[in-house]
Amino acid sequence: MAKNITFKDMALPSFEAINPLKVEELMPVPNLGEEPPFEPPPDKWKEKYDLSLDWHSPIALPKPNAAEQERILKGFLKGLERLFNPQDNWTFLKILRLTTDYCMRCQTCSDACHVYIGSGEQEIYRPTFRAEILRRLYRRYFTSSGKFLRSLVGADLEANYHLAMRLVESAYRCNVCRRCAQVCPVGVDNALISREIRKVFTQELGIAPKELFTKGTRQHLLVGSSTGMQPGGFKESIEFIEDDMGERTGRKIHIPIDQKGADILLIHNAGEYLSWPENPGAFGVLFQMAGISYTLSSDLVGYDGVNYGLFCDDLELARIGLRHIQVAKKLGCKKIVVGECGHATKTLCVITDRVLPGDMATSEMPRESCLPLFWEIYKSGVLKFDPSRNNFPTTLHDSCNIARLMGIVMPQRKVTRAICPQFREMTPNGAHNYCCGGGSGFAIMNELNFPQWRKKVSERMKTKQILEAFKDCLDPSIQKYVIAACSNCKGAMRDLIAHYKLWDKYSITYGGLVELMVNAIVDLPPFMELEFFSPD
């Protein structure tokens, strides 16, 4: 049963979790079978870390002493004040104000949120829950009416360290997928609230999941990639991929690096080189055979399209976005094309412009998703595709960043329908899709037991959608493929398929779109075996 947690419970001065979870309270998923219970955190974690929201934490903050608690609270309030100051937050203040000023409390957004629904409607995950806390705190501490009239103007919440930490933890239970914003009748954006709460903690206090910050944007800017891969390692991985592609296709495949004057700078999420090298490999095959003029870059940051500043830090976001543009200009490319990565595409194509001041504007360098280019290649007729090569059930997961937030919905469908005879849609899909559950960095956040929360709660709705899409062919003798043209979404697919044993029970696997295109090229031998793509 959902727990009736109140705003004041969030301030309870205790390190006990206020909302422990039970599997039997979560949204039921047909065909899932028996599900293991939530594993409680070991005592040594309870002693060491602040897990006081729901016994999970991607932040993994060691329990602070009284002085440290005071410092965190002060930093939080200072950051909150800056959030509403036009000089400090010119980037996102307008939409933040709209959200804090105009919510009608109709709760349409709650019915749209896969985390809230998937959790069994636990109050702490309701889209408006964290927004209302932020709203009340801002009024209480930074408006005259709130300082004096408190409860009369909805400013009755007193801040303490525990409230601040539970609030930022709750911001890391939101995928920032903006499905809630899409349905809001007055256009308020609770996803932005989550993102801005995270920003306060990163920019003001340096508190963030290490995968996004110290091992994310910091590492990206210092060594060249958020994976830790340096330029030399990147070049070696391309050599390895070229050899592999040569063996698979029986042709010499050359993947250009640092080629000046190429039309396109192609930037992949560098996680592909380590986890799914067949994806950048398939790009190499497709682009070479289609005669596309392109290059990769070995410059620092230029070979990793990831930008985790999108999820928690404006400054890091701007630094990485600017670097991507500089690399393309240095090579003399006419445009940047982003590989199969949703957040990298949205960041580079849309958000970077918003966080750079006028004299650093990036708009003179065109930037695009790879998906329309796939359709251009297909319909140009330069290559012949044989759909019978992909004659197994497929469904398409839309990256929220690409479909909902950029409106790119049809190119990937046109390609898929043309080359996959057994394609079927998930419901809902396109701009109305549900997040994979790995959005806003969750897919790579693995501190303590956070993966358990992700698999059981945020990835739950996507698991349900996949099982429903294949409900007519669940028989394990039929191999099935979930297309996820996004690196982080693939991470979530790998996660949920392994956790719920969807390969073992139902022969459901996953992968990118470009691999299916190359698999169908008539002039080449088949590119893939589904077993090869299984999460095991």
115 binds ligand SF4 (CB under 6 A): yes
- HSE at residue 186, side-chain half, CA atoms within 13 A, is 14
For ligand SF4, the closer of residues 125 and 234 by Cβ is 125
Phi, psi values for residue 227, rounded to 5°: -80, -10
Residues in contact with ligand SF4, total (CB under 6 A)? 26
Instruction: Choose, by CB under 6 A, the member of 104, 152, 360, 361 that binds ligand SF4.
Output: 104
Two tokens at 48? 């060491």
Of 306, 476, 336, 480, nearest to 401 by C-alpha is 306
Asked whether the beta carbons of 313 and 217 are under 8 A apart, the reply is yes
Instruction: Choose, by CB under 6 A, the member of 108, 151, 293, 380 that binds ligand SF4.
Output: 108
For ligand SF4, the closer of residues 57 and 509 by Cβ is 57
Q: How far apart are CA 418 and CA 382, in angstroms?
A: 15
Position 370, amino acid? C
Number of helical H runs and strand E runs in the chain: 27, 7
For ligand SF4, the closer of residues 288 and 488 by Cβ is 488
Instruction: Choose, by CB under 6 A, the member of 107, 145, 293, 391 that binds ligand SF4.
Output: 107
Closest approach of ligand SF4 to the CB of residue 258, in Å: 38
Within 10 A of 73 (CB to CB), how many other CB atoms are there? 18
178 binds ligand SF4 (CB under 6 A): yes
Q: How far apart are CA 321 and CA 308, in angstroms?
A: 10
Closest approach of ligand SF4 to the CB of residue 459, in Å: 12
Of 413, 458, 453, nearest to 113 by C-alpha is 458
Asked whether the beta carbons of 390 and 421 are under 8 A apart, the reply is yes
CB neighbour burial string for 35-66, b if at least 16 within 10 angstroms, e if fewer: eeebeebeeeebeebbbbbbbbbbbbbeeeee
For ligand SF4, the closer of residues 173 and 268 by Cβ is 173
191 binds ligand SF4 (CB under 6 A): yes
174 binds ligand SF4 (CB under 6 A): yes
Residue with tokens 């960041």: 347
For ligand SF4, the closer of residues 295 and 429 by Cβ is 429
Two tokens at 174? 């939101």
Q: How far apart are CA 126 and CA 122, in angstroms?
A: 7
Instruction: Choose, by CB under 6 A, the member of 17, 165, 177, 405 that binds ligand SF4.
Output: 177
> Containing H/E element for 238?
helix 231-249
For ligand SF4, the closer of residues 308 and 385 by Cβ is 308
Q: Which stretch binds ligand SF4 (CB under 6 A): 143-151, 186-194, 258-266, 285-293?
A: 186-194
Q: Which stretch binds ligand SF4 (CB under 6 A): 64-72, 138-146, 174-182, 412-420?
A: 174-182
Q: Which stretch binds ligand SF4 (CB under 6 A): 185-193, 407-415, 463-471, 514-522?
A: 185-193
Residue 369: strand, helix, or coil = strand
489 binds ligand SF4 (CB under 6 A): no
Phi, psi values for residue 369, rounded to 5°: -75, 155
**Residues in region 148-167 near ligand SF4 by CB under 6 A:** none
For ligand SF4, the closer of residues 59 and 174 by Cβ is 174
For ligand SF4, the closer of residues 128 and 249 by Cβ is 128
Nearest 10 degrees: Cα torsion 53, 457, 452, 175: -80
Contact letters (x/-) for ligand SF4, 391-430, by CB under 6 A? Answer: ----------------------------------------
Q: Which stretch binds ligand SF4 (CB under 6 A): 63-71, 108-116, 213-221, 327-335?
A: 108-116
Positions in the binding site for ligand SF4 (CB under 6 A): 103-109, 112-113, 115, 127-128, 174-180, 184, 186, 188, 190-191, 194, 435
